[in-house]
Structure 1
Amino acid sequence: MERNVSSSLNLTSPSTQLPHVNTTVKPFSVFDGCEHQFEALLFDLGVQCINVVVGIPTNLFVIAILIHNRKDPSTSDIFLGCLAFMDAYFGVMTIINFINFYYWHSEVVWSSTEFSYGVKDTSGPLFLSCICLDRFVAVLFPILFGQHKDAKYRIYLSVLVFCLTFAYSAAKAVGDIPNFSKVFTCEILATFTWMVVCNISILWTLKRSRGAGKDEMHPMKKKAFKVVYSIFCIIVFNYLPLVALFPFQDHFSPDMFHCYVQPTAFAFLNISSTIQPLVYLSRLDKVPFLPDTCMKKWCTCCSAENTTPAQQPPA
């Protein structure tokens, strides 16, 4: 909530007159100063509807799969589970945010939704950075990776990410912190740069790691290449608009940035709560809790779509 305070002092008799302060409090609004420029805010909320309909169940499904596979986990499963949990929480808070926009108009509820936005701003980039770090060390430094495969290292790193996430989210919920938006700008630039460098290095290393005299990549490395490439595409699609626009915040008018640029850019970030679990599920060879016939039909459909006439064997 913004407060506008104006003071008028009567200086004709300083010994007897006390300063008179006229305080005008701006009423709380869920549109936060964009009451007449709310189109981009509604666009962001509309995009988040996908997180409610698709993102919440798919993230819960990812968590169920990770729990089911806990006896034979991947080194990145801890990060994936934490990311899916945070995305599911963000989807649930979207429902509360919608109700507050159109019914409650509560400042307390708005503070809780601001906290959830802080969770989304921080947890996604940081946990994706952890996944990229895990893959980066595994591909480029396999000996070092083998020495640090113990889950405790990932747990320590996840706890650190949670602490940073909650500290940032609490500060965002409190509000009125000078230049607080610069913190997010620095964070998104740093994490985006790190993820891009990691993924390009991994892709370049896997591309060069073909056997002597062979044109085809090893099947396992080819699979790893596709996994990293899909993560790279997610990073570029969801985070590039923020990276491209936020450093130039001073070039926009305050109303234009706050009411149009910021919600539109954040819409690309918020939809990652749906894209990330869908990409993870699409990479699985076998999905627990589903009959094999469903997976066979899915694989058959995908193979049929990917087959072109040029690729069909001659008669």
Structure 2
Amino acid sequence: MAMIYTNSTLFNYSIPNITGRPWSAFVGCEEMVAGVLFGLTVQILNCLMGIPANMMVLWLLVRNKGESSTSDIFIFNLALLDVFFVIMVPLDVVNVFFLNNKQVWGVQMFVYGVKDMGGPLFLSCICLDRYIAVIHPITFTRFKDHKYRAALSVVVLVITFAYAIAKAIGGISHFEKIFTVIVLTTFTFMVFCNISILWALKRSGPGKDEMHPMKKKAFKMVLSILAILVFNFLPPVALFPFQDYYSAAVFRCYIQPFAFNFVNISSCTQPLLYLSRVEKIPWLTNLKKKMCSTGKTPCP
């Protein structure tokens, strides 16, 4: 049976075999259901928390556009793509368990293509923007106009939707390698940018508490992005290059859904981390103060 190496909600989607058996997301994995249970749990959580969190991020960015930072346009586009991704989760679950429709499957592949490419690329844009701002401030000043970020966002969206369309159409030889290369490349680039920024900010004063307030804010932002990278992107980066060391069934039914769902849950973790840094939401600020007073979170 031919296999498509793809990001799916619960499972790898396989090309129907020559026996003419109806298409199903579970072909070849009927006896290995742990990946299904893990994926279903992750996606339900992603949907329940990702939709309100991303909508709140979008609302804050629109409301405070007069005070926007240079990275906000990338954060806005990333939140838009994440909203699109999580609102399609119910359709995916219904198709997997009830419809078993190949046309719906094509729509799902487009959605996952958007997630596969858009997330890493826009996170890379945020890291690049922060890297230039901290490491090369003179260059950053020359290119501070929002039109440069808008143009870069358009390029990223074109690449993202082109990849998603190609994934939905299918049939491209070795297409699966594109995602592996993109994840490995962007992960390496983002880790380099973030570590360079953290190192530069730490050297700006004898201690973190003596940093300039803007540098301290940048330090926290970069640290949160680095946490996202390690938690959401390290599993596929660490596991996918060793695909040949696993049996086809184990990789398809366990390794692949496990690693991909760490990427998928970023639609929830990214907006939550962004909101945790926001100080302009009264109820959120009060919650953080209460947690601080009880010792559940470090006081600023």
Query: TM-score when scaled to structure 1?
Result: 0.85
Q: Among 181, 193, 197, which residue is 1:198 paired with?
A: 193
Q: What is the RMSD computed on CA atoms of the aligned residues?
A: 2.1
Residues 279 and 285, structure 2, Cα contact 8 Å, conserved in 1: no
Q: Equivalent residue for 1:119?
A: 114
Q: Which amino acid aligns with 1:124?
A: G
- Judging changes above 3 Å, is the alpha-carbon distance between structure 1 residues 32 and 92 closer, same or farther for their aligned structure 2 residues? farther
Q: Equivalent residue for 2:6?
A: none
Q: Equivalent residue for 2:5?
A: none
Q: What residue ranges of structure 2 are gaps of 5+ in the alignment? A: 1-13
Q: 1:117-266 residue pairs with structure 2 within 5 A?
A: 117-210=112-205, 216-266=210-260
Q: Which amino acid aligns with 1:70?
A: K
- Judging changes above 3 Å, is the alpha-carbon distance between structure 1 residues 74 and 102 closer, same or farther for their aligned structure 2 residues? same
Secondary structure of 1:45's partner? helix
Give the superposition deviation at 1:4: 5.4
C-alpha separation between the residues in 2 aligned to 1:48 and 1:28? 22
- Does 2:30 align with 1:44? no
Give the superposition deviation at 1:155: 1.1
C-alpha separation between the residues in 1 aligned to 2:161 and 2:286? 43
Residues 74 and 149, structure 2, Cα contact 8 Å, conserved in 1: yes
Question: Which one has the largest radius of gyration?
Answer: 1
Q: 1:25-44 residue pairs with structure 2 within 5 A?
A: 25-44=20-39
Residues 2 and 26, structure 1, Cα contact 8 Å, conserved in 2: no
C-alpha separation between the residues in 1 aligned to 2:276 and 2:256? 31
C-alpha separation between the residues in 2 aligned to 1:150 and 1:85? 22
Q: What residue ranges of structure 1 are gaps of 5+ in the alignment? A: 6-23
Residues 30 and 110, structure 1, Cα contact 8 Å, conserved in 2: no
Q: Which amino acid aligns with 2:259?
A: A
Q: Equivalent residue for 1:301?
A: 290
Q: Among 55, 74, 78, which residue is 1:79 paired with?
A: 74
C-alpha separation between the residues in 2 aligned to 1:305 and 1:233? 24
C-alpha separation between the residues in 2 aligned to 1:239 and 1:153? 27
Q: Which amino acid aligns with 1:52?
A: C
Q: Equivalent residue for 2:96?
A: 101
Residues 202 and 228, structure 1, Cα contact 8 Å, conserved in 2: yes
Give the superposition deviation at 1:192: 0.1
Q: Which amino acid aligns with 1:185?
A: T
Give the superposition deviation at 1:26: 4.3
Stretch of structure 1 that moved more, 122-131 or 94-103? 94-103
Give the superposition deviation at 1:218: 2.2
C-alpha separation between the residues in 1 aligned to 2:113 and 2:208? 48
Q: Equivalent residue for 1:60?
A: 55
